[in-house]
A and B are shown apart, each in its own frame.
Chain A
Amino acid sequence: MAPATAFIVGLTIFTAVLIGVLVARPGITATRGGKILAFAALFFLPLFCGAMGVSSKMAQSETTEFCLSCHTMADYGKSLYIDDPNHLPAAHFQNHRVPPQEACYTCHADYALFGTLKVKLGGLRHVYVYYLGTPPAPQDIKLYEPFNNRECLHCHLGARSFEEGVVHTADPATLPAIKANKLSCMSSGCHEVVHDIAHLKDAKFWKEPN
């Protein structure tokens, strides 16, 4: 268990025990000290524990492990290990261009205002479909809307490899079109190989060193 999680769980249980004392002996709230204790135990500490728990759970929901905990996503997780530098997610994951422990979220976050809220609501919908609906087959999963270059440019904008790349600068119209999201980074002939789960069985995989 992570130290932060252990601390939150410990504080939560401590608060519950403190409240238990108040429930068993409510008479102690008659004194000034008892009133202060009651305020801390019945108001401040539960809200503090709740806020810390939400913050921790939100962070946990951004991990690769969390995304891949749904069986439907298993093939997408495997595709991160394809041994092919042209396979975009695999190259990003294996070379730590994205933090490997938050690989899914880093690319699939919406880097716009309220983007986090939007993706979290999308995540709630995924949970609903997974447990109460009919989850689609992995190969049938589609993005809600075409991948926005904004998510790539969040990191690549201003980078020399992007701004001065041979292909990117061959035509003066290319870079402005990419930056305006008029030419997708994943266009045919560009970085088009993304989560190619249809050909997983033929793929060669990279083995992560221990």
Chain B
Amino acid sequence: MPANQLEKRLQIAGTLLIAGLLIEALCMLWKSPLAFIFFVAIGGLLLGVGVAVYLVSLVSSAKNPG
């Protein structure tokens, strides 16, 4: 995989993770029952997708080096 394509995927993964982490940080400060739902449903989803994109990019780069 070309380096810039790998970097692009890492940027996508990073952006998703930043969004997820910021939502989780906000939910940690909010004590409403809704905060728990947002924390798991939105924050957790963004983190999960972000980590998955990162792992896929690693596997793809290992399969297609250079």
Contact = CB atoms under 8 A, between A and B. Distances in A.
A57 B55 contact: no
Contact of A13 (B20, B25, B40): B25
Nearest to B40: A54
B33 A70 contact: yes
Given A8-B28, A19-B14, A46 B20 contact: yes
Looking at B14, B32, B34, which has the most chain A CB atoms within 10 Å of its CB?
A: B14
**Chain B binding surface SS class:** helix
Interface string A5-23: 1001100110110011011
Contact of A12 (B10, B28, B32): B28
A112 B62 CA distance: 47
A136 interface: no
B51 to A, nearest CB: 6
Given A42-B51, A43-B55, A127-B34, A26 B25 contact: no
Tier of interface size on chain A: 35 or more
Contacts of A41: 14
Interface in B1-56: 3, 6-8, 10-11, 13-15, 17-18, 20-22, 24-25, 27-29, 31-37, 39-40, 43-44, 47, 50-51, 54-55
Contacts of A15: 17, 21
B36 A57 contact: yes
Lowest 8 A-B CB distances belong to which pairs? A26-B7, A23-B14, A16-B21, A42-B54, A12-B25, A19-B14, A16-B18, A127-B33
